[in-house]
Amino acid sequence: MRKLLVVLGRFTAKVIDFFYPPFKKYVSLQFFRYGVSGSMNVVFSIVLYFCIYNYVLRQQMLPLGLFTLSSHIATLAISFPFSNLFGFLLQKYVTFTTSELRYRYFLIVFLNLGINTVVLKVLVDGFHFWTTPSQIIATFICVFVSYFSQKKFTFKTH
């Protein structure tokens, strides 16, 4: 499985690198790869969130026995593991390929989960914004936190 991920990562990196030359003066290759693969993950995450919220949960609360989750938080709980796994694979095998990962990624995942939950609660429950646009705003906040934390902490090379 690891070999397949490495091959897919190299292929994806080559496709991304093909579009890099016009941006070479402005950003590093690593930052460009992060931006493109991160954008892929953002699109995947938002589409997944939208589909689960509207078609799986049908915008309804999720009763779990002792407590009930609001639809937007339940959607986050369902979609978050999938979007973060996809994002991890992209970052590990496309962007930060020389790093030796030591479970630091999951600390950032939980940081982002906390940020995402707080932003959703404030925007949806506090300001009564629509759920999907609120998730998009939360995602973009997490993108900025993720890049710097992944570069300086998660995928740091010596």
Per-residue pLDDT of 134-155, as tens digits, reads 999 998 899 888 878 877 777 6
User: Confidence band (pLDDT; 50, 70, 90) for 158?
Assistant: low
Going from N- to C-terminal start, the domains of the chain cover 2-154
Question: Contact 130/72 with Cβ under 8 angstroms?
Answer: no
Give the predicted TM-score (pTM) of the model: 0.80
Per-residue pLDDT of 36-91, as tens digits, reads 998 999 999 999 999 999 999 999 999 999 999 999 999 999 999 999 889 888 98
Residues near 6 by beta carbon (within 8 Å), at least 6 away in sequence: 93
